[in-house]
Amino acid sequence: MRGPHNIIRLIRTGATLERSGAMKVVLEAFEAPPLMRFVLRGLAWPFQWLGIKGDPDAPPLPRALTALGPAYIKFGQVLSTRPDVVGGDLATELRVLQDKLPPFDIATAKAEVERELGRPVDEIFSEFSEPVAAASIAQVHRARLAETGEEVAVKILRPGVEKAFRKDIDAFYFAANTIEFLSPGSRRLRPRDVIEHFDHGVSSELDLRLESASASEFAANTVDDEGYQVPAVVWEHSAKRVMTLGWAEGVPLGDNDALDAAGHDRHALGSRVLSLFLNHALRDGFFHADMHQGNMKVAANGDIIAYDFGIMGQIDEYTRRVYAEILYGFIQRDYKRVAEVHFEAGYVPADQDVDEFARALRAVGEPIFGMDADRISMGRLLNYLFEVTERFGMATRTELILLQRTMVVVEGVSRSLDPRVNIWDVAQPVVATYIEQSIGPRAVLKDLTKTARVLGRFGPRLPGLVEAALMKQNETPVRDQSKAWLWVSLAGGGGALIGAAAVFCAVWLM
């Protein structure tokens, strides 16, 4: 329920942050102004006795987020990939939230497997280990199939995790509604829509059948990607709360010392993480949307192995084209073209001036390109672009929030491997190839071919459809005919615009 009782939960959130010392850590990490620090800590201090104590042996922020529950842990996982935002020490502390949380016992895990798969664990697996990784939603066990001897990873949802997430999400909805009510100006940012998007993503992550399907589709898309592996799904031993995959053997991508000891080139790995993500988003329109270090390993041959496919992103072909043109325009520093694309797609209100918008974009881009490679940041570009959106009246586009967030995470992972990775140098060939294949003359021919196929399929029915439409028009009073054609025209125009779901938020994180 999203009623006022959530006020208590939100107060407990602030109290827990203050009681654990995490409030101070967060405000310092984000360099909050002194007045803001005084106000927030002053409001939380009287209620800190309501805060959850948590593990006293854990650092303040991981302690607080773990105590608050899985939705808050998700937030910490994102911060763990952003040493440029929260600092290297804090980012390292937060990495325990990726796959090193307290596990539930093996007896409970086996009971969950038996309940879901309908067979005793010892009958399915000849070996079944203690938990090897535990995160906010599930934990993983290493096992061996009794029939084939194949080593596999068995992922099991935490007992009661669905109910815990529901409580957090309800509190988030209440907070978003309150913000929109008290601050009408915040509606441009669409906080409720953002929470709805998060809610949908979490709901998908809590059904491992959907994750199995995503892993299978993603493996098919990336089978020819050099230096990239996706473990195969063992479908007969997967269900709603249990998922079985081939075992991924390798060095964790977040362990730089181990990567160095194994002789891997961290600069090359950082560049490959970025280029693979851009390829999957642009080429396939289907990408891994939870690409933190805890979900990737490096095989002995240097391949990146991806796993945990609970959160996947999808963008349609038209949006990919617009997004690629905007990104390529920034790479080429062609701000006029970037501005024109925004107007053509309807992301900027038509009453704004395209040349003025182009100058504003130049003010965003030029300082970034003037920086050294190790200081270029998607996050910094996001902050600058956010200011531009407010000035030109653009609203938050929830359709691409997942792409935004993933770009931030991917940049953080890449920089954690080597801060000298130049995101623009990596992006240029990927985007240029996509532009050549999807926006040039070849793309026009491809689009015409698709149109011809559709007409061919519906061609035999067109005469009857036209005749029926004309007969209906003749039966409609003259006064209503113009109204009918108006609605038809509006519907057609609206359908075209829907395909162009706003890309501006995605550009924020380039």
CB 174 within 8 A of CB 10: yes
Residue from 348, 359, 354, 311 nearest 78 by CA: 311
- Which segments of 335-450 are extended strands (E)? none
Selection from 396, 433, 164 nearest residue 279 by Cα: 433
Beta strand 286-288 pairing with 304-306 = unpaired
Q: Give Cα 278 to chain centroid, integer Å.
A: 13
- Element at 396 (helix H, strand E): none
CB 180 within 8 A of CB 192: yes
* H or E segment and range at residue 155: strand 151-157
Quote the Cα angle for 140-68-256, to 5°.
Answer: 50
d(CA 353, CA 219): 45
Structure tokens at 44: 């939380």
Q: From its phi and psi, is residue 341 left (phi > 0), alpha (psi between -120 and 50) or beta?
A: alpha
| CA R_g for the chain | 25
DSSP 3-state percent helix, strand, coil across the chain (nearest 5): 65, 10, 25
Residue type, 330: F
Beta strands in 255-316 (DSSP E): 286-288, 296-298, 304-306, 312-314
Q: Which entry of 290, 355, 374, 447 is annotated as an active-site residue?
A: 290
CB 92 within 8 Å of CB 303: no
Q: Provide CB contacts within 8 A for 26, sequence distance 6+.
A: 17, 61
- Which residues lie below 8 Å from residue 278, measured CB to CB, with a gap of 6+? 426, 427, 430, 431
Pure H helices in 345-477: 354-369, 378-391, 401-417, 423-438, 441-458, 462-475
290 is catalytic: yes
Residue listed under structure tokens 């990726």: 98
Give the angle subtended at the CA of 441 by the CAs of 436 and 446, to the nearest 5°: 95
Token pair 């992972």: residue: 413
Angle of helix 423-438 relative to helix 441-458, nearest 10 degrees, comes to: 50
* Token representation of residue 394: 């653009």
Kindly compute the dihedral angle of the four CA atoms of residues 209, 211, 216, 217, in this order, to the nearest 10 degrees. Answer: 120
Active site residues: 290
